[in-house]
Amino acid sequence: MNTGALTRRRVLLGLGAMCTGGLVSAHTATLPMAVSLQDELARALQKQMPLVVMISLAGCPFCKVIRENYLGPMHSQQGLSVVQVDMHSKRELKNFSGTSLSHENMRRTWGIRIAPTLLFFGRNGTEVAPRLVGASIPDFYGAYLDERLQQAQEAIK
């Protein structure tokens, strides 16, 4: 299947899931929680990919749609390097310089207030594409995601 067909499929699945409250899903996906952004970025760059970080919130229906219909399939089927940072979690993680802090404090450091928010990182933990904030635009979400992934990919070459 070509990339355009995959993008159209993700858009349609996302739209269907958002319109039905997230009850429609082509893929039940769990994404790994961030443990060490430094190590996760190194693994992504080894594959010549950006690291995508999803800021999520427990119980957020939009986060579920993004996980199950966009990032989860891209992670499992295409090898996209993606991790989650839970907006309010006290769980510890290491940032890009190896310093330990909670998921919640990492989210605050980035100044993020809305879930889901996607960030795209390249070398040295630098953001290499504009953030994708919220998910209230189901008609275009897949296109916006693809555009940012392409920008991020170009930036790390």
Assess if residue 25 is contained within a domain: no
SS3 state at 104: helix
How many other β-carbons are positioned within 10 Å of the β-carbon of residue 95? 17
Assess if residue 93 is contained within a domain: yes
Backbone φ and ψ for 18, nearest 5 degrees, come out as -65, -40
Q: Tally the domains of the chain.
A: 1
pLDDT digits (tens, 9 = 90+) for 6-25: 444 444 444 444 433 443 34
pTM for the whole thing? 0.81
Look up the domain containing 106 and give its range: 3-20+30-156
CATH number of the domain that 103 lies in?
3.40.30.10
Q: What is the pLDDT of residue 29?
A: 61
Of 112 and 16, more confident: 112
